[in-house]
């Protein structure tokens, strides 16, 4: 990878994406081959938001590469309050080899990358979730091979996950449709950037308020919780607004017959997705969750 950091899905080229997929596939099938490949390296994991998959996959991933992980929770740092991002970056760059940060404001992540002289990985911000998009498209690549010409439809809030799917999908030649209620569309700047890339790689980017139209001809249907962390006060209102966007068997039937179902998890069963969909043969959500481990191992291997 040419970039030192991985803050956005736009930080990685198409060739680099496909190279990471090949490496992740090899790592997945030949774990012992890469044991100790990054021996002695230390990953600092900064968590301002709670996590299951991000914490476990990064911690296990660095261990499987022969390195060590250090968990730093909100009470350990309290970024921007107890200590400035600049000071944290300047301290950690002298102590560890790479930093993963899972936080709220995207500017915290970009500031950390600006100030630290070691690689920074965006484990999630309110604006993007690029590691999740890596796992999502790696999963589709495993199942379908060449992704050019495929279509992924995201149904729900135009949030950080939708942003990273748009940006990564466009560079892979995947047409991405986002079906969301009015007023909850993804960031206009992200959509425009994705459209520019999509033109280069023969894909289409679409934002619609019609979930049925959105999933037409889809090879993958994706959803996420209707209220993300930090939006708990809006949860009840969002349930009313998003209920027509539930991914159920009727909506899945509008996609291609062999379409797969994706979800970044955790899922609120009975809200954004029904049990019959998430537990169906079309669902690959747990394979997708496992693949966070493999693509993040590949990412760390390359950045280190």
* Catalytic annotation present for 36: no
**φ and ψ at 299, to 5 degrees?**
-65, -50
Per the residue annotation, which of 38, 53, 55, 102 is the catalytic one? 102
Tokens of 209: 């308020």
Nearest CA to 291 out of 260, 268, 269, 270 is that of 260
Helix axes 130-144, 285-303, angle to 10 degrees: 110
Per the residue annotation, which of 127, 129, 171, 301 is the catalytic one? 129
Per the residue annotation, which of 292, 294, 296, 301 is the catalytic one? 292
Per the residue annotation, which of 11, 53, 55, 132 is the catalytic one? 132
DSSP symbol at 156: S
Per the residue annotation, which of 97, 224, 263, 301 is the catalytic one? 224
Per the residue annotation, which of 10, 11, 264, 282 is the catalytic one? 264
Instruction: Map tokens 């680099």 to a residue.
Output: 16
Distance CA 27, CA 130 (A): 20
DSSP symbol at 26: H
* Catalytic annotation present for 94: no
Distance CA 110, CA 168 (A): 19
* Catalytic annotation present for 109: no
Cα three-residue angle 244-249-250, rounded to 5 degrees: 60
* Catalytic annotation present for 31: no
| Residues assigned a catalytic role | 102, 129, 132, 224, 264, 292
């Amino acid at each position: 990878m040419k970039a030192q950091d991985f803050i956005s899905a736009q930080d990685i080229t198409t060739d680099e994406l496909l190279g990471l997929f090949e490496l992740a596939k090899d790592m997945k099938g030949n774990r012992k081959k890469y044991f100790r490949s990054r021996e002695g390296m230390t990953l600092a994991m900064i968590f301002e938001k709670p996590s299951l998959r991000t914490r476990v996959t990064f911690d296990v991933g660095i261990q499987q590469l022969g390195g060590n992980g250090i968990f730093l929770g909100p009470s350990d740092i309290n970024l921007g309050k107890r200590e400035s991002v600049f000071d944290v970056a300047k301290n950690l760059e002298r102590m560890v080899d790479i930093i993963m940060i899972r936080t709220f404001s995207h500017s915290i992540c970009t500031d950390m990358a600006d100030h630290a002289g070691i690689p920074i990985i965006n484990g999630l911000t309110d604006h993007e979730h690029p590691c999740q998009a890596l796992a999502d498209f790696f999963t589709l690549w495993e199942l379908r091979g060449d992704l050019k010409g495929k279509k992924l439809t995201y149904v729900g809030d135009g949030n950080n996950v939708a942003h990273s799917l748009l940006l990564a999908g466009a560079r892979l030649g995947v047409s991405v449709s986002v079906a969301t209620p009015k007023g909850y569309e993804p960031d206009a700047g992200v959509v425009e950037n994705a459209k520019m890339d999509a033109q280069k790689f023969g894909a289409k980017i679409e934002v619609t308020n019609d979930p049925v139209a959105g999933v037409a001809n889809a090879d993958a249907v994706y959803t996420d919780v209707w209220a993300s962390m930090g939006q708990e006060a809006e949860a009840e209102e969002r349930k009313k607004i998003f209920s027509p966007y539930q991914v159920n068997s009727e909506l899945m039937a509008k996609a291609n017959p062999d379409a797969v179902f994706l979800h970044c998890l955790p899922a609120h069963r009975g809200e954004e997705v029904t049990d019959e969909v998430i537990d169906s043969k079309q669902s690959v959500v747990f394979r997708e969750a496992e693949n966070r481990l493999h693509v993040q191992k590949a990412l760390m291997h390359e950045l280190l």
